[in-house]
C-alpha cells in the first residue's frame, strides 16, 4: 500500500504522521496521548512547529498555560496563522497576561481566511473587561462567519444581558440551545433572564436542570438560592446558598447580599445574626 501523500506529493514523514495522530487524539479528548506523541516528535526535531502547536494545546487543556505559551510562541514564529494565534491568546489570558492576549486576538481576527473562534475569544475577553459594546460587535461578526456556533450565541446572550437587553439575550440563548441541545451555559443564561423578569419559579426549574448536568456549579446553586428565597422556600434556599459557599468560598459576600435583598432577609440587621444563617467559612 503506497504511503500517505501530502500536498506536494511526497510521502508523509513519520513526524507528520505522529502530529496527525496527536491532533486526532486531542479531538477525541485523549489529551495525555496527544501530549506524548507531540513530545516524541519534538525530542527528535525541537523546532517542529506543528508538534509545538499540538503540545501547547494539550498543555493548555490540562490547565498549564505558562508551559503552553513557550511552545505556542515557537509554533507562531514567522507565521500569521489565526488558529495558533487564538490558542496563544487563550494561554496568555489564562496566565494573566490580558493585554498580550488582547493584542494577539486583535491580530487573529484580521487574518484571511477568518477563523471564527478568534472572534469568540476576543468577544469573551472584551466581555470580561466590561467592554460590552465592543464585545457585542465582535461576537456578531463571528456569528456571521459561523452561525451555528452555540458557544458564541451563548456569549452574545451574556453580553446582551449585561447591556440590559433581556429580549435579545433570551433569543441568543434560545438559538444556542437550538444549535446544541442542553447547552449548560445557555440554560443558565435563560434562567438569569427569567430571574431578572421576576419569573422565579421557572428560573429555579432551569437552574435545577443546570445542576443536574453539573452539581459542582456554584453559581447555579447561588442563583437557585436567590430564586427560592423569593418563592419563600426558606430552608431549601439557605441550603442552596450554603452549598454554593462550600463549593466556592469567595461567593460568601454575594450570598450575604442575596440574603439581605430578599423580603425575609431584610430582618437580619446584625452581622452576628447573619453569620448564624450563613456561617463564614475559609476564604479561597
pLDDT of residue 27: 95
Q: Is the pLDDT of residue 257 over 70?
A: yes
pLDDT tens digit sequence for 18-58: 999 999 999 999 999 999 999 999 999 999 999 999 999 99
CATH fold of 13-108? 1.25.40
Mean pLDDT of 225-235: 94
Residue that wins the pLDDT comparison between 259 and 61? 61
Domain boundaries defined on the chain: 13-108
pLDDT tens digit sequence for 67-122: 999 999 999 988 889 999 999 999 999 999 999 999 999 999 999 999 999 999 99
pLDDT of residue 247: 95
Mean pLDDT of 234-238: 93
Q: Is the pLDDT of residue 9 over 50?
A: no
Residue 251 in contact with residue 284, Cβ under 8 Å? no
pLDDT tens digit sequence for 153-201: 999 999 999 999 999 999 999 999 999 999 999 999 999 999 999 999 9
pLDDT of residue 273: 67
pLDDT tier at 272 (50, 70, 90 boundaries)? low
pLDDT of residue 10: 47
Sign (positive or negative) of CA dihedral 60, 62, 65, 66:
negative
State the pTM of this model.
0.87
Amino acid at each position: 500500500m503506497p504511503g500517505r501523500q501530502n500536498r506536494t506529493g511526497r510521502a508523509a514523514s513519520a513526524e507528520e504522521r505522529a502530529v496527525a495522530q496527536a491532533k486526532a487524539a486531542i479531538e477525541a479528548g485523549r489529551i495525555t496521548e496527544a501530549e506524548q506523541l507531540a513530545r516524541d516528535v519534538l525530542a527528535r526535531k525541537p523546532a517542529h512547529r506543528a508538534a509545538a502547536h499540538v503540545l501547547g494545546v494539550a498543555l493548555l487543556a490540562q490547565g498549564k498555560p505558562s508551559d503552553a505559551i513557550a511552545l505556542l510562541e515557537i509554533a507562531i514564529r514567522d507565521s500569521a496563522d489565526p488558529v495558533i494565534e487564538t490558542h496563544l491568546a487563550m494561554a496568555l489570558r489564562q496566565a494573566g497576561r490580558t493585554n498580550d492576549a488582547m493584542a494577539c486576538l486583535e491580530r487573529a481576527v484580521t487574518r484571511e481566511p477568518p477563523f471564527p473562534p478568534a472572534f469568540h475569544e476576543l468577544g469573551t475577553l472584551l466581555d470580561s473587561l466590561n467592554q460590552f459594546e465592543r464585545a457585542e460587535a465582535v461576537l456578531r461578526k463571528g456569528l456571521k462567519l459561523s452561525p451555528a456556533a452555540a458557544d458564541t450565541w451563548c456569549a452574545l446572550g451574556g453580553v446582551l444581558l449585561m447591556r440590559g437587553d433581556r429580549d435579545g439575550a433570551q433569543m441568543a440563548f434560545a438559538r444556542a440551545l437550538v444549535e446544541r441541545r442542553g447547552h449548560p451555559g445557555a440554560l443558565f443564561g435563560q434562567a438569569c433572564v427569567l430571574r431578572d423578569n421576576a419569573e422565579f419559579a421557572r428560573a429555579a426549574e432551569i437552574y435545577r436542570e443546570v445542576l443536574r448536568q453539573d452539581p459542582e456549579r456554584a453559581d447555579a446553586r447561588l442563583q437557585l438560592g436567590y430564586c427560592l428565597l423569593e418563592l419563600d422556600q426558606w430552608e431549601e434556599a439557605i441550603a442552596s446558598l450554603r452549598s454554593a459557599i462550600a463549593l466556592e468560598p469567595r461567593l460568601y459576600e454575594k450570598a450575604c447580599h442575596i440574603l439581605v435583598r430578599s423580603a425575609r432577609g431584610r430582618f437580619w440587621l446584625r452581622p452576628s445574626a447573619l453569620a448564624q444563617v450563613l456561617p463564614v467559612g475559609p476564604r479561597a
